[in-house]
Each structure stands twice: as C-alpha cells, then as structure tokens.
Amino acid sequence: SESLRGIVCQQLIPRKDGNGRMLALEVLVNNPAVGNLIREAKTFMLPGVMQTGKKLGMKLMDDSLQELLDKGLITGEEAYRRAENKKAFATALAGEMR
C-alpha cells in the first residue's frame, strides 16, 4: 500500500448513436485512508473513500456511467450492464424498455 500511487480502470462503451465508443473510467488515488484500508484488508470500504475523495480526483465507475448516460452518449442498457450498483441504473433501463 505504500508504493501504490493510484489505480485507473477503463471501459470502452458503445455510443448510443453507433459511432464508436465512449470512455468510462474509475480512479482511485492512494492516500492514508486508502492505504490503511488495504493494509487492514478492508477493500470493500474503498468505494466509500472514493466517493468522499472526489476532490482528490477519485471517481467511481458508476459516476462515470451516469455522466455518459445523462449526456445521452450511451444507452441505459449499456450503463446497467456495466454498473456496480444495478439498482441505480434500473430506472434508466426501464425507461428505454417502454
């Protein structure tokens, strides 16, 4: 945990208009709280730290998916398929099914 600087996870998602793909990303920046959770094997708590660490440049994949969905760049189905919190995207998916 001391040598870790950060982690970036990327997904390329098909665009709603069918022209290429959009980048959705998740960013974890190491700080004392992150290092402590890793050392104590409490990695299940990292999403909470990432949520509060947005000022440090951290970002959850679900937030990135929501931004792309809000801009109309990806479909609700694509967002739902890739989401960690499926419940948060179920409404968008249901809206497309109508």
pLDDT tens-digit map of 12-39: 999 999 999 999 999 999 999 999 999 9
Show me where the domains of the chain are located: 6-97
CATH 3.40.50.300, applies to 6-97: yes
Q: Tell me the pLDDT tens digit for each residue of 38-56.
A: 999 999 999 999 999 999 9
- Compute and round to an integer the Cα radius of gyration of the chain: 15
Dist. CA 98–CA 90, nearest whole Å? 13
Within 10 angstroms of residue 13's Cβ, the number of other Cβ atoms is 20
CB 15 within 8 A of CB 32: no
Is residue 98 over pLDDT 60? no
